Amino acid sequence: MHSLHLKKITLLMLAMIVITFTIPGKSGARELDEVLKAGKLRHLGIVYANFITKEKSGLDVELMQLFAEHLGVKYEFVETDWQNVVADLTGKIVRPQGEDIEISGESHPVRGDVIATGFTILPWREKIVTFSETTFPTGIWLLARADSALQPIAPTGEIQKDVDLVKQGLTGVSVLGLKDSCLDPNLYALNGTGATIETFPANRDLNEMIPAVMARITDTTLMDVPVALIALEKWPGEIKVIGPVSPDQGMACAFAKTSPQLSQAFATFFKELKNSGRYKQLVEKYYPSLFIYYPQFLMD
């Protein structure tokens, strides 16, 4: 009798295991209906400049809160980091290989429905996520200490020429970057410039890259324009901008490839937000000087 009972239990467990592994489950970010059903929008973000501040406010936080309100669901902030942000959205561990990606077989739990964190649109990222239209213009500048021998370039008026001028002066200069992010030196063909590429530890706060330059840990650092502008205000006379290392870029919200409806819903929402002028007010709130450099942004 006892053994029969035991057999039954064992069989039940095996069946459950089989079901678990054989019946294909729903992996990846949720679609719109699931978000609506769940009644909650999970916002993946990294504390980064004024996109997401330490206080968990910022441009992207307010943007996502408005989107959740638009959907009629609650808002939830899910903190992540640059290493795991894509995996947190897609459930897949992805590593960039130039402009291409490498997806590892390991699975990763999906923790969010949308990435909005000053997320630069990069070619490799576009292969794994669906970006919304540009929510923020950007670019990558090379920053150095004020007393650096490296001199800022004289702008030519053409961004690519300016990039070339910058690269020309990088011989023997250490350049700090952050792998797998928009500040990844590999993205900007710096390897052939004679510069010494240094990688900022992934587990460190990106905001510490510039202080690292000031601390003479490195000669220069790559930095996106919004953060560079803030840094220039924060440390006047201590750092200087050498010039651009990338053409103009854009930041946007990222959705999983498996969430087209959610992506579409955001597109609709964002269009309304832009047309009403509220988005511009939001941008000016957190980046008042943005439109000095990108006067055409939001002009369409």
Partner 1 sequence: MEDSLKAKLANFFQKPKIVILIAYLVIGTYLCLLMAINFQSQTALQKSTLKRIHLDLEKRAFSLGYFFSERKHGLESIATSKDVLSYFINKSLGMSEAYGLKVSLFVIKQILLKTLQEKSIQGDPIYMRLLLVDTSGRPLIDTASESQEAFFFSSVKTAPSPDEPPIVFIDQENNKIKLVLKTPCILQGEVMGSLISILNLDTVRKHFVDFSPNPSLDRFDLVSNDGRIMRSDDAAQCPDFRELTSMTIHQLPEDQFSLIKFPSERAHAKQMMVTRVTIHNVPLYLLSWVEKKTITGTLTPWQSLLGTAFLALMILLGIVKLVKFNTENLVLQTRYDESKRQQHRLASKNQQLKHEISQRQKIETELEEQRSLQMRSDRLRSLGEMAAGIAHELNQPLVGVRGKAELTLLSLAQEGPLVPQKIENNVQTIIEQVDRMVHIIDHVRLFARNAGKVEISRVDLNDIVCTALTLVMVQFKSYDLHLEKILAPRKLFVLVNPFSVEEVIFNLLTNARDAVESKKKEAGQNYRPDISIRTGSDELENQKNIWIEIKDNGSGIPESIIPSIFDPFFTTKDPDKGTGLGLSICKSIVEEFGGTIDLESREGEGTAFIIHFPECRTPTETDETIPFP
How do beta strands 254-256 and 239-244 pair? unpaired
Contact window for partner 1 (CB under 8 A) among 56-64, 189-197, 216-224, 242-250: 242-250
Cβ 289 to partner 1 shortest distance, Å: 4
- Computed from CA positions of residues 118, 124, 125, 126, in that sequence, does the dihedral angle turn out positive or negative? positive
Q: Which residues pair with 194 in a beta bridge?
A: none
Q: Within 118-157, which residues bind partner 1 (CB under 8 A)?
A: 141, 146, 151-155
Q: Is 247 in the site for partner 1 (CB under 8 A)?
A: no
Among 110, 195, 209, 241, contact with partner 1 (rule: CB under 8 A) = 241
Q: Is 292 in the site for partner 1 (CB under 8 A)?
A: yes
CB closer to partner 1 out of 268 and 289: 289
CB 188 within 8 A of CB 224: no
CB closer to partner 1 out of 104 and 156: 156
Q: Is 52 in the site for partner 1 (CB under 8 A)?
A: no
Q: Within 70-129, which residues bind partner 1 (CB under 8 A)?
A: none
Please calculate the CA angle 223-227-229 and round it to the nearest 5 degrees: 105
Number of residues near partner 1 (by CB under 8 A): 23
Contact window for partner 1 (CB under 8 A) among 30-38, 102-110, 252-260, 287-295: 287-295
Task: For residue 274, give the amino acid letter.
Answer: K
CB closer to partner 1 out of 125 and 145: 145
CB 77 within 8 A of CB 284: no
Q: Within 218-237, which residues bind partner 1 (CB under 8 A)?
A: 228-229, 232-233, 236-237
Q: Is 288 in the site for partner 1 (CB under 8 A)?
A: yes
Cβ 164 to partner 1 shortest distance, Å: 14
CA-closest candidate to residue 298, choices 115, 284, 286, 255: 284
CA-closest candidate to residue 69, choices 251, 278, 257: 278
Which helix (H) or strand (E) element contains residue 249? strand 249-251
Cβ 36 to partner 1 shortest distance, Å: 42
CB 102 within 8 A of CB 94: yes
CB closer to partner 1 out of 75 and 293: 293
The CB-based long-range contact list for 145-154 (8 Å cut-off, 24+ gap) reads 145/213, 145/214, 145/216, 145/219, 145/238, 145/239, 145/240, 146/237, 146/238, 146/239, 146/240, 148/219, 148/220, 148/240, 150/219, 150/220, 150/242, 151/242, 152/240, 152/241, 152/242, 152/243, 153/242, 153/243
Q: Within 182-201, which residues bind partner 1 (CB under 8 A)?
A: none
CB closer to partner 1 out of 148 and 207: 148
Who contacts 285 (Cβ-Cβ below 8 Å, separation ≥6)?
59
CB closer to partner 1 out of 247 and 288: 288
Q: Is 297 in the site for partner 1 (CB under 8 A)?
A: no
Cβ 146 to partner 1 shortest distance, Å: 5
Residues that bind partner 1 (CB under 8 A): 141, 146, 151-155, 162, 228-229, 232-233, 236-237, 240-244, 288-289, 292-293
